[in-house]
Amino acid sequence: MNILVGAAELAPFAKVGGLADVVAALARQWAAMGHRVLVVLPKYRMIDASGWGFQPIEPSVAVPMGQTVEYARLWLGTLPQSAARVCLLDAPHYFDREGIYGNPEGYPDNDRRYIFLSRALLELAQVLGFSPDILHVHDYHTAVAAELLRRFYRQTPQFYKTASVLTVHNVAFQGISDPARVLPLLGIPWEEFYPGALWEYYGAVNLLKVGILTADKLSTVSPSYAWEIRHTALGEGLQGVFSVRGADLVGILNGVDYEEWSPERDRYLPVPYSAEFLAGKELNKQRLLTEWAGLPEAEAQAPVPLLGMVTRLTDQKGIDLLLHVLEPLVQRLAVRFALLGSGAGPYENFFRYLASRYSPQVFVYIGYNESLAHRIIAAADFLLMPSRYEPCGLTQMYALRYGTIPIVRAVGGLRDTVRDYDPISGTGWGFCFADYTPEALFGTVQYALSFYRAEPHWERLRRNAMACDFSIRRSAEQYLQLFEWALEKVRAERA
Ligand code: ADP
């Protein structure tokens, strides 16, 4: 199959969260299965294109934006260790800026930036002579390309048979903007803007809604989240829209690229380890505690449980629960706590305060750090993810492979990947709580801690965790099945 992918993030080039990891892992997997994959990504300032081996090519791409045409240079390269091709869209006026989306509020012209990406996706496929079977778009950033395909491109020989699939990673981001700005840019006449129309959403334009209603097939990143966005407030106002497309919507659990995330061959770990050599995990913990937290060797070896977190510091991740729970945890249960994260200022300040007040029991790194992410996930005994909502969540799946026991709120993908440990049968590999309250979180951590080094449970828990298989291969195969359904749908519509 020829698969054209458009996304706002792609690891290792440009990453904010799980979206980057999953788009890269899928592309790599499909390429390894023999499919031709082309991923299109904006050339953000942070990407050292030449350093990653990208080459600029001729000609540039011309992108219709309303009454005018804008141009972008194209750079071609590949994903590291993969045959999947990557095309960087070099439009400095949109993308040569700090970061990806512009924190914390987002750049005011994000609508325009991502409409440009969506339109360029279809135009550059023509420049490169890439005739896709599937156009795979992700989140609001490229969702509108599904409608652009249907409306402007499907009659061309290049896209005659192309089916579109939209994957929704997070419904909280919808690309809502002023119709006076975006309709002319997209070439949509005003007659099509009226209550209840595709282009209208409470007096605005909602790019995600347009994608949901017009992509041939839809997916989201876990079965539970697929249900939640149709039936609960987690649909963020789009419950009805998702329900209209219910028959075309599936939940495909994200997967892990175990080449990147396995304790046996993790290049960031001082000591590689496996289920057969769990002493290696202890050594990683000691090294983290001495090297990063500055603990003396004897103290680092003490059997004190270490709770870890690697996360964006946003409301989604349940940080407000931690504001209530962390101090009592540290004071009363004498745990150690390590956090790597960045995000909302008040949350960052809270963790800075905590680190200064409880040093060296609590250590915190505010910022983005790939190597530290791997080291914390390997070193921690437990990983905390008390999310308010979680479309899938990758970090808990990484933790499982590293024998780090997840303590999670049972929501979305966390519910689908973490099974409660049952001390009677010795099954399960984590601890879940349902209510979004500090008491539920505190009680569950306390319960989980009762198994720390308590044999035979501790050994069983870790072995069960490490035996979980959430490989990206399984996800990639399920996407291919979905792509087949999308192609069938397009063929049936043509007939
Ligand atoms: P989300 O996509 O909602 O942020 P996921 O759990 O799906 O959550 O994915 C988060 C990804 O981002 C993981 O790969 C995690 O290791 C990484 N990550 C999050 N914050 C940081 C950080 N501060 N430094 C390094 N990696 C981070």
Q: What is the pLDDT of residues 100-128, one digit of tens each?
A: 999 778 999 999 999 999 999 999 999 99
Q: Is the pLDDT of residue 230 over 80?
A: yes
How large is the average pLDDT for residues 413-421?
Answer: 98
> How many angstroms separate the CA atoms of 183 and 201, rounded?
13
CB 132 within 8 A of CB 162: yes
> How many angstroms separate the CA atoms of 335 and 147, rounded?
52
3 state DSSP class of 263: coil
In the prediction, which pLDDT does 104 show?
A: 72
> How many angstroms separate the CA atoms of 118 and 40, rounded?
10
In the prediction, which pLDDT does 163 show?
A: 98
Q: Is the pLDDT of residue 247 over 80?
A: yes
Would the CB of 348 count as within 6 Å of ligand 1?
A: no
The candidate with the shortest Cα–Cα distance to 182, out of 245, 231, 109, 249, is 109
Tell how far the Cα of 385 is from the centroid of ligand 1, in angstroms: 12
Could you tell which of 168, 266, 385, 394 is best to mutate to test the pocket of ligand 1, judged by most ligand atoms within 8 Å of the CB? Answer: 394
Residues in CB range of 283: below 8 A, 6 or more apart: 270, 271, 273
Would the CB of 18 count as within 6 Å of ligand 1?
A: yes
Would the CB of 438 count as within 6 Å of ligand 1?
A: no
Ligand 1 atom 4 nearest Cα: 17
Would the CB of 311 count as within 6 Å of ligand 1?
A: yes
Would the CB of 12 count as within 6 Å of ligand 1?
A: no
Tell how far the Cα of 169 is from the centroid of ligand 1, in angstroms: 13
pTM (2 d.p.): 0.93
> Exposed e or buried b for every residue in 223-256, given b needs 16+ CB within 10 A?
bbbbbbbbeeebbeebbebbeebeebbbbbbbbb
Residue corresponding to tokens 């009226």: 194
How large is the average pLDDT for residues 301-321?
Answer: 96
Q: Is the pLDDT of residue 227 over 80?
A: yes
Could you tell which of 10, 21, 342, 371 is best to mutate to test the pocket of ligand 1, judged by most ligand atoms within 8 Å of the CB? Answer: 21
The candidate with the shortest Cα–Cα distance to 353, out of 323, 378, 309, 391, is 323
User: Which string of DSSP letters, residue by residue, matches 399-418?
Assistant: HHHTTPEEEEES-HHHHHH-
Q: Is the pLDDT of residue 323 over 80?
A: yes
In the prediction, which pLDDT does 339 show?
A: 98
Which atom from ligand 1 is nearest to the alpha carbon of 312?
20
Strand partners, 245: none
CB 98 within 8 A of CB 14: no
In the prediction, which pLDDT does 350 show?
A: 97
Ligand 1 atom 9 nearest Cα: 18
In the prediction, which pLDDT does 17 show?
A: 86
In the prediction, which pLDDT does 494 show?
A: 86
Averaged confidence pLDDT in the chain = 96
Q: Is the pLDDT of residue 146 over 90?
A: yes
Q: Is the pLDDT of residue 293 over 90?
A: no
Convert the pLDDT of each residue in 443-455 to its tens digit. 999 999 999 999 9
> How many angstroms separate the CA atoms of 371 and 393, rounded?
19
How large is the average pLDDT for residues 420-432?
Answer: 98
Q: Is the pLDDT of residue 77 over 90?
A: yes
Strand partners, 9: none
In the prediction, which pLDDT does 449 show?
A: 98
C-beta atoms surrounding 365 within 10 Å: 18
Tell how far the Cα of 20 is from the centroid of ligand 1, in angstroms: 9
Would the CB of 412 count as within 6 Å of ligand 1?
A: no
Strand partners, 266: none
Which band of pLDDT confidence, cut at 50, 70 and 90, is reported for residue 26? Answer: very high
Q: What is the largest CA-CA distance in the chain?
A: 74
Tell how far the Cα of 9 is from the centroid of ligand 1, in angstroms: 12
Would the CB of 366 count as within 6 Å of ligand 1?
A: no
> How many angstroms separate the CA atoms of 83 and 72, rounded?
24
Ligand 1 atom 17 nearest Cα: 17
> How many angstroms separate the CA atoms of 244 and 444, rounded?
38
Q: Is the pLDDT of residue 307 over 90?
A: yes
Ligand 1 atom 20 nearest Cα: 311
Convert the pLDDT of each residue in 347-396 to its tens digit. 999 999 999 999 889 999 999 999 999 999 999 999 999 999 999 999 99
Would the CB of 393 count as within 6 Å of ligand 1?
A: yes
Percent residues over pLDDT 70 in the chain: 100
For residue 54, what are its two tokens?
């990208």
Which atom from ligand 1 is nearest to the alpha carbon of 21?
14
Q: Is the pLDDT of residue 495 over 90?
A: no
> Exposed e or buried b for every residue in 327-352, given b needs 16+ CB within 10 A?
eebbeeeebbbbbbbbbbeebbebbe
- Within 215-364, residue ranges assigned H as helices are 223-231, 239-244, 279-291, 297-300, 319-332, 345-358
Ligand 1 atom 12 nearest Cα: 17
For residue 252, what are its two tokens?
């495909």
> How many angstroms separate the CA atoms of 459 and 467, rounded?
12
State residue 247 phi and psi, 5-degree precision. Answer: -70, -20
